[in-house]
Structure 1
Amino acid sequence: MSSLVPPAPAPALPALLTTVLPALESLTTALGIPRTVLASDEEIEYAWKDLPRELREIPAPLRGELVARMCVAVSTGLFDSAMNYIWNAAILQLRAKIRNFGVPIVAQILQSDFEERNLVELQDSRLLELSLKLNIVNEDGFFFLDQCRDVRNNFSAAHPTIGTINDREFTTFLNRCVRYALADASSPRGVDIGAFISAVKGARFNSSQNDVWVQRLSETHDAQRQMLIIMVHGIYCDPNTSEPSRLNALDICGALNSGFTASLRSELVHKHSEYAAKGDEPRHTASLQFFERLGLLINLNESEQHAIFYRAIERLWTVHNGMNNFYSEPPFAERLLELSKQSAIPETIQDQFVQVVMCCVIGNGYGVCRAAVSSYEQLIRSFSPREVALMIGLAATPATTLSRRISSHLSCSQRFKQSLTLIDPASVPSSVRATYDYYTR
């Protein structure tokens, strides 16, 4: 049983009542100005009381000079200065995250020149937009930090102000800077797009090479990972792509597909649909195979799934009725079993599916392919109630291939009865219960 990790202790800040606050009174008196030009003692006390909770969320390496200056400014009621210090700390951290992501990789993503100089000179608004694009901040973070930018420009000591803020407004500002920029010291590293594409299109990956690229894609942010997976899908579907490159693409995607986001799955289906809409048959066919190989059939519509299952069923049936079927059936049976685990069998193909599986499992007058029986039995155990009804109904209908085999060969009849034992009686619909009872007696 896992235990909760206790939160880091909050920094212990000194009390102000007997030190700073009386000094503020003396200072304003000496200058001959009203005490009200500074934040009140109560506002300072409340802001100071809230500071430790916010500072606790900032990793120790980021509690540097600017954070210290912010604390000093809060202690004297200079919320406008404190706001500027913590904002600058947030901006520096966002720059550091982009730098860690990789300035050359940012240039690839932006498809324009982008160097360290450009990063340093980037206006705060543009920096936030770039951070959002790189997924260094999410949409919520961008929204709240952009609000902070506007508040900082109009109410902080960075520029002549249009008003003042109180302790609660400052604490909200601080919380957003901490939460969306400073709280997480880690940052994703970008993937060199050119090097990645060259590697995928190059020679067949060895295991170490594959592991390196899988790790790099795992460590980058969702937006770049999605972009690269979509590019890999395009490489796989290109008729001019070599087989080693296609296998490289499958290796990468196969290692990552359990973590595919809903957005990525949607984008893959969109690209797949685009091939169909444009009548690009080679790419559409390759894309179908891509979805099959990665176990993503459930993301396709029923007509697409029908086409895939139809092809697998037809191939199994052709092999079953061909020469040496006892030796050639297993891989085709295994393929159909693999597809059935990805998605329910479309109703439009269930009749053919049940007939082929049952004919293969009971065999013919010469016997059955024993090496494929395990696959057939797994398929039968997973029959839906409708498929169970079809199985029993096909056996009881004289014109079907299944019925003719059962009535013509005792061995087929016996194997059919054995197949019925694989079905949970509770899955047998009432419409075929009498026929089921007849065969199982």
Structure 2
Amino acid sequence: MSTPLPTVAAPVLPALPATVLPAISALTSALNIPRSVLASDDDIEHAWMGLPRELRDIPSALRGELIARMCVAVSAGLFDSAMNYAWNAAIIQLRAKVRTFGLPIVAQTLQADFEEKHLMELQDSRLLDLALKLNLVNEEGYFFLDQCRDVRNDFSAAHPTLGTVNDREFTTFLNRCVRYALADASSPRGVDIGAFIAAIKGARFTANQNVVWIQRLSDTHDAQRQLLIVMVHGIYCDPNTSEPARLNALEVCNALKAGFTAALRSDLVNKHSEYGAKGDDARHSASLQFFERLGLLTLLNESEQHAIFYRAVERLWTVHTGANNFYNEPSFAERLLELSKQSAVPETAQEQFVHAVVACMIGNGYGVSWAAVPSYEQLIRSFSPREVAIMVAAATTPTTLIAKRLSAFQSCRTRFKGALGLIDPSTVPNVSKAAYDQLLRL
């Protein structure tokens, strides 16, 4: 659906002079032709009354000579001429939109030479095709403007006509020209694809470069932005891409991700799946990282989300059980917290996830990584009922590491009791309620 046009005051047209309609009758009489060969007085009056409503939606900058001639033609009942003027105004505006988009960028899109002479030589049908390709009109606009083109060719003064139109048919024609071509004087600017890709692959963006490219992608239309973001995803996933280029890609995508359309998200997921289907492990792994770092994990299927969480938990646990764990844990704990904010932990990874978080939270006989504790606390507060049940079961099953630490160290028992206090009692499932209450009395 098209965006509703803003309501503004309609231009006030002068009343038709009392001499205009009688003059038309006098003219037909003088030429000895029937009055019915021209629009009736009633049709002229109704078309004239409807004009202000349509003119209201044309920006004042576009109410030029052709629109003035159209109004004069309507006042005389020359609807065929009025349609031709309206159509020419629409075509001129579509050409202006193509120029604003950028002729060199149109040439890139078409992969062919495209200069001013090519634009001026385009037939109206080809111009409409180009406007649709560049997203200067949407599919609805293309459909109705293409209908207008047929009507203009067969019923306007541009060619010998097949018949005549009345006031309602003319008003409908004008409404579509206004709505889909003349109502919006603005136009998206295209992005120079070659320059953009070269910039992404170049040195690390300066602050100004980042602002400029984000603005350019924001100003272009959805279709080109979609094309460029998918290209950026491909650059990020290329094993030969340098780290500065990957950071450039992430920076641009992160700034624009709130506006990712459903079609763009679908394209990214399809490209990601394609890497997996081809067995391109390097690109598939990089693509997983792309989704993870942009906070788009929910777009991936559960098995891939499992792989990401599993890897994050495994890294945290490796650090926790390694040397200098108190110093190294915080960044890995923070990363796991970031992931949990993007998506619920898949059920297949919940047990490993809960065991690692709780074990790190209670620490060992030597203490705990205090800098990582705030992350662990947030994670535990967000535990689902199933994760709470896993936590309770881990503490009451003697063979688990958590139970062994609770049995061996008072400090671990104290910290575990504090961890339980972070959980809302209403989250505790009934099956774990008795064990939960008992653990609180540790």
User: What TM-score do you get using the length of structure 1 for normalisation?
Assistant: 0.97
Who is 1:297 aligned against? 297
Who is 2:82 aligned against? 82
- C-alpha separation in 2, matches of 1:412 and 1:146: 75
How do 1:88-127 and structure 2 match up within 5 A?
Answer: 88-127=88-127
Read off the aligned partner of 1:243 and give its amino acid letter.
E
Q: Deviations over 1:347-379 (max 9, x none)?
A: 110111111111010111111100000001111
Q: Deviations over 1:101-137 (max 9, x none)?
A: 0000000011111111111111111111111111111
Q: Deviations over 1:37-95 (max 9, x none)?
A: 11111111111111001100000000001111111111111111111110110011000
How do 1:42-61 and structure 2 match up within 5 A?
Answer: 42-61=42-61
The structural deviation recorded for 1:312 is 0.3
The structural deviation recorded for 1:24 is 1.0
Q: Deviations over 1:369-411 (max 9, x none)?
A: 0000000111111111111121112212222221221122111
- C-alpha separation in 2, matches of 1:11 and 1:24: 26
Read off the aligned partner of 1:41 and give its amino acid letter.
D
Who is 2:315 aligned against? 315
Who is 1:407 aligned against? 407
The structural deviation recorded for 1:201 is 0.8
Who is 2:397 aligned against? 397
- C-alpha separation in 1, matches of 2:140 and 2:440: 62
- C-alpha separation in 2, matches of 1:65 and 1:140: 28
- C-alpha separation in 1, matches of 2:256 and 2:176: 33
Q: Deviations over 1:172-213 (max 9, x none)?
A: 111111011000100011111111111111111111111111
The structural deviation recorded for 1:17 is 5.5
- C-alpha separation in 2, matches of 1:76 and 1:309: 74
- C-alpha separation in 1, matches of 2:317 and 2:71: 77
- C-alpha separation in 2, matches of 1:262 and 1:152: 37
Who is 1:256 aligned against? 256
Read off the aligned partner of 2:342 and give its amino acid letter.
Q
Read off the aligned partner of 2:316 and give its amino acid letter.
L
**In the alignment, does 2:144 pair up with 1:151?**
no
- C-alpha separation in 1, matches of 2:195 and 2:415: 57
Who is 2:129 aligned against? 129
Read off the aligned partner of 1:111 and give its amino acid letter.
Q
- C-alpha separation in 1, matches of 2:16 and 2:60: 23
The structural deviation recorded for 1:19 is 3.1
Q: Deviations over 1:206-256 (max 9, x none)?
A: 111111111111111111111111111111111111111111111111111
- C-alpha separation in 1, matches of 2:397 and 2:70: 85
- C-alpha separation in 2, matches of 1:23 and 1:311: 86
Read off the aligned partner of 1:36 and give its amino acid letter.
S
Read off the aligned partner of 2:72 and give its amino acid letter.
V
The structural deviation recorded for 1:8 is 2.2
**In the alignment, does 2:64 pair up with 1:64?**
yes
- C-alpha separation in 2, matches of 1:14 and 1:265: 52
- C-alpha separation in 2, matches of 1:23 and 1:378: 84
User: How many pairs does the alignment contain?
Assistant: 437
The structural deviation recorded for 1:14 is 1.3
Who is 2:346 aligned against? 346
Who is 2:192 aligned against? 192
- C-alpha separation in 2, matches of 1:285 and 1:95: 45
Who is 1:11 aligned against? 11
Read off the aligned partner of 2:429 and give its amino acid letter.
P
3-state DSSP class of the match of 1:14?
Answer: coil
- C-alpha separation in 2, matches of 1:363 and 1:250: 35
**In the alignment, does 2:282 pair up with 1:288?**
no
3-state DSSP class of the match of 1:86?
Answer: helix
The structural deviation recorded for 1:346 is 0.6
Read off the aligned partner of 2:159 and give its amino acid letter.
H
- C-alpha separation in 2, matches of 1:274 and 1:306: 19
The structural deviation recorded for 1:296 is 0.8
- C-alpha separation in 2, matches of 1:45 and 1:386: 74
- C-alpha separation in 2, matches of 1:6 and 1:287: 42
Deviates further, 63-72 or 391-400: 391-400
3-state DSSP class of the match of 1:191?
Answer: coil
Deviates further, 324-333 or 254-263: 254-263
3-state DSSP class of the match of 1:185?
Answer: coil
Deviates further, 93-102 or 40-49: 40-49
Who is 1:140 aligned against? 140
The structural deviation recorded for 1:6 is 7.8
Read off the aligned partner of 1:56 and give its amino acid letter.
R
- C-alpha separation in 1, matches of 2:29 and 2:382: 86
- C-alpha separation in 2, matches of 1:303 and 1:204: 34
Deviates further, 203-212 or 23-32: 23-32
Who is 1:176 aligned against? 176
- C-alpha separation in 2, matches of 1:144 and 1:425: 61
Identity across matched positions, percent: 75
3-state DSSP class of the match of 2:203?
Answer: coil
Read off the aligned partner of 2:45 and give its amino acid letter.
E
Who is 1:30 aligned against? 30
- C-alpha separation in 2, matches of 1:440 and 1:23: 99
Read off the aligned partner of 1:194 and give its amino acid letter.
G
Find runs of 4+ consecutive structure 1 residues off by over 2 angstroms.
5-8
- C-alpha separation in 1, matches of 2:258 and 2:342: 13
Deviates further, 6-15 or 32-41: 6-15
3-state DSSP class of the match of 2:288?
Answer: helix
- C-alpha separation in 1, matches of 2:171 and 2:389: 67
- C-alpha separation in 1, matches of 2:425 and 2:151: 69
Structure 2, unpaired ranges of 5+: none
Read off the aligned partner of 1:189 and give its amino acid letter.
R
How do 1:189-338 and structure 2 match up within 5 A?
Answer: 189-338=189-338
- C-alpha separation in 2, matches of 1:440 and 1:282: 47
- C-alpha separation in 1, matches of 2:93 and 2:132: 14
Read off the aligned partner of 1:179 and give its amino acid letter.
R
Deviates further, 318-327 or 9-18: 9-18
The structural deviation recorded for 1:431 is 1.2
Read off the aligned partner of 1:247 and give its amino acid letter.
L
- C-alpha separation in 1, matches of 2:409 and 2:300: 41
The structural deviation recorded for 1:160 is 1.2
